[in-house]
Amino acid sequence: MNASARPAAPAATPTRARPGADAENHEAPGTSAAPLDPFEAPAPKGAARALLRTVLGPDTRRLCLVVLLVLLQQAAALAGPLLVAVTINRAIPALTRQDAAPLVIVAVGYALCVLAAGVLQNLFVRLSVALGQNVLTELRSRLFRHIQAQGIEFHESHAAGAVTSRATGDVEAVRELFEGGINQIVTAGVSLVYVSAVVLALDWQLGVAALAALLPISWTMRVFRKRSLPVYQRRSAAAAAVAGDMNETFAGISTVQAFRRADANDRRFAVLNRHHRVENRQAGLEMARYVTSSRLVANTAVAALVLWGGYRVASGALELGSFAGIALYLRDLYDSPLQLGGVLDTYQSAIASLGKIAVLLSIEPSVVEPEHPTPLPTLAENCVGRRVSYQAVDFAYRGAGEVLSRFELEIPAGQTVALIGPSGSGKSTLAKLLARLHDPTAGRILLDGVDLRSVTNDELRNAMVMVPQEGFLFSGTIAENIALGRPDASPEEIRRASAAAGAHQFINELQDGYQADVGSRGARFSAGQRQLIALARVFLVDPSIIVLDEATSALDIPTERALHTAMRALLHGRTSMIIAHRLSTLQIAHRVLVLADGRIIEDCTPADFLADRRRWTQAHRP
């Protein structure tokens, strides 16, 4: 359903309905009853990490190398305070005894450490960026393939924007983690272990006290993690709702403007946008609370340790150098968890996003490739059509009532059937089942005796083409658009197909002919021209079965005539099902089926049907 056609208050998809409604009712989003839609389901525990493991799988060796580099880099980078301790405890007393060697060794060691830390850091960043890019590329490819493989049901029931947001916005959150977050997490983790060991080695008593202060710091971190995960999940859903609303509105901008929906849309968008702001602020507040409380604990601990350490030096229990080294290390020690907390924001966001990506990737397509395919019988000579049989077909859309019940229909090979009937009578459902955009809930549909579910996608692609009502043109040239179903077609084949469809003349009159750019969604062509291009596509594929949803837009008489001539030529000998929106189209058909409430109420010839034109009006009465 289009944004513009939808009433302002309740939204069509759960993604959008929830945030809007929540913002108005001041309820916590996500606290309502569990959603039926798997797309909206919370990620199962561990799903995000499991997904990360599978995408990181091929890069395990590179990952090990990154870890090794971090270990070495941190050892070099954190050597400074240890060298200060050695300088005070050993090198300076040696110098007072005229022995400069220890001081020179410490100075050279320090310089080497600084150099090594820089070089290793550079290598580590390069490797981890490459690793991150591999993960992101793999995630995007998986998502694109998976979303594209979903049945039409999935796409009809989810706002394109919400799906796109998961494929772009959520991947973006993972990108942030890989482009800095992981660096910091790994560095902070390694530094924590390393500094703890050195501090304990310098003075175990002061070391134990310093480490004990890590407990309250890590407790504040755990509280933050627990509180922030749902906040980040809600923020991510709110962002998806905003993206979804924008996407849908702009996709249907002509209807928005035709129905003067701009103000109503502004109001609805304002609700979603406010909700997004509230969730964003909430996430920011969580972060601020964490930073303040953990810093307070850390600074109090440093003050207490310096006091006790100073007292131990004065009493001779601790060397001055060791005390200085520990004091210098305290900053690194307490900064590590604080730093970890800082990047936890990125980490939590990324894990929430990975969870949502994992949920999307776990949704099984409603129409799947057969495990044990059956090939379609070879067509007899001079026969281009195939026999179609609907046998005891039941069908219901997800979450909706039954549309077809024990539906039976036989279409002999080569017959053109026109479907007519009031809106909602099941014409499109019947056509979509034949094109295998959905599978029957029960019963089966056969092509020359073979169940559609047993035919491979490759074979089906060549055997059947569905021409939707709106001839959608993709960005690119006209030639590329005509060759959509057969990208390997030669320019001559493309020209012949468009000539057969009656499109050659107007294409030829364009400045760049077949190389003309179609522009945004083919807006530069009339509805009739787009239909002719759509028919040319079908000529090129040369299928045995055609399912055609006739365009409803009014065409002028010459274009309609051209379209009918093209359709007559295209359908000749093939089995076809046309959802007829024009009385004149019935003349192309061999048979007319009148549907009502998912049943055939009349099965007759066009001549019989047309004998009484009033029946057309009756058949189309909603």
Ligand X SMILES: Nc1ncnc2c1ncn2[C@@H]1O[C@H](COP(=O)(O)OP(=O)(O)OP(=O)(O)O)[C@@H](O)[C@H]1O
Which residues of this chain interact with ligand X, rule CB under 6 A? 156, 397, 400, 403, 421, 423-429
Tell me how far, at minimum, the Cβ of 351 lies from ligand X, in Å. 33
Alpha carbons 48 and 356: distance in angstroms, whole number: 8
- CA-to-CA dists, residue 554 to 359, 485, 560, angstroms: 43, 27, 9
Tell me how far, at minimum, the Cβ of 423 lies from ligand X, in Å. 3
Tell me how far, at minimum, the Cβ of 427 lies from ligand X, in Å. 4
C-beta of residue 372 within 8 angstroms of C-beta of residue 192? no
Residue number with CB closer to ligand X (205 or 552): 552
First to last CA, the chain: 19
Residue number with CB closer to ligand X (349 or 425): 425
Alpha carbons 379 and 386: distance in angstroms, whole number: 8
Tell me how far, at minimum, the Cβ of 249 lies from ligand X, in Å. 21
Residue number with CB closer to ligand X (51 or 551): 551
Alpha carbons 542 and 524: distance in angstroms, whole number: 27
Region of 600 (left: φ > 0; alpha: ψ -120 to 50; beta: rest) is beta
Tell me how far, at minimum, the Cβ of 596 lies from ligand X, in Å. 9
Residue owning tokens 């034109």? 613
C-beta of residue 342 within 8 angstroms of C-beta of residue 291? yes
Residue number with CB closer to ligand X (19 or 421): 421
SS3 181: helix
Residue number with CB closer to ligand X (198 or 445): 445
Tell me how far, at minimum, the Cβ of 61 lies from ligand X, in Å. 47
- Please name which of 384, 389, 391 lies closest in space to residue 414, comparing C-alpha atoms: 384
Tell me how far, at minimum, the Cβ of 148 lies from ligand X, in Å. 18
Take residue 91 and report the two structure tokens written for it: 């090198």
Tell me how far, at minimum, the Cβ of 426 lies from ligand X, in Å. 4
Lay out the sheet containing 575-579: strands in order across: 464-467, 545-549, 575-579, 416-420, 591-596, 599-604
| Cβ neighbours for 181, distance < 8 A, ≥ 6 positions apart | 343, 346, 347, 350
Alpha carbons 612 and 59: distance in angstroms, whole number: 71
- The secondary structure of 361-406 as a DSSP string is HHSPPSS---SS--PPPPPPTT-----EEEEEEEEE-TTS-EEEEE
SS3 6: coil
Q: 420 - beta bridge partners? A: 594
Tell me how far, at minimum, the Cβ of 579 lies from ligand X, in Å. 6
Residue number with CB closer to ligand X (423 or 617): 423
Tell me how far, at minimum, the Cβ of 37 lies from ligand X, in Å. 12
Residue number with CB closer to ligand X (11 or 541): 11
| Cβ neighbours for 130, distance < 8 A, ≥ 6 positions apart | 62
Residue number with CB closer to ligand X (424 or 468): 424
φ, ψ at 397 (rounded to 5°): -75, 155
Residue number with CB closer to ligand X (558 or 622): 622
Tell me how far, at minimum, the Cβ of 4 lies from ligand X, in Å. 18
Tell me how far, at minimum, the Cβ of 437 lies from ligand X, in Å. 10
Residue number with CB closer to ligand X (415 or 429): 429
Residue number with CB closer to ligand X (213 or 419): 419
Q: How many C-beta atoms lie closer than 10 Å to residue 259's C-beta?
A: 13
- Please name which of 177, 172, 167, 171 lies closest in space to residue 143, comparing C-alpha atoms: 167
- The secondary structure of 567-603 as a DSSP string is HHHHHTTSEEEEE--SGGGGGG-SEEEEEETTEEEEE
Residue number with CB closer to ligand X (6 or 427): 427
Residue number with CB closer to ligand X (403 or 418): 403
Tell me how far, at minimum, the Cβ of 425 lies from ligand X, in Å. 4
Residue number with CB closer to ligand X (56 or 596): 596
Alpha carbons 123 and 155: distance in angstroms, whole number: 44
φ, ψ at 166 (rounded to 5°): -70, -35
| Cβ neighbours for 200, distance < 8 A, ≥ 6 positions apart | 207, 208, 211
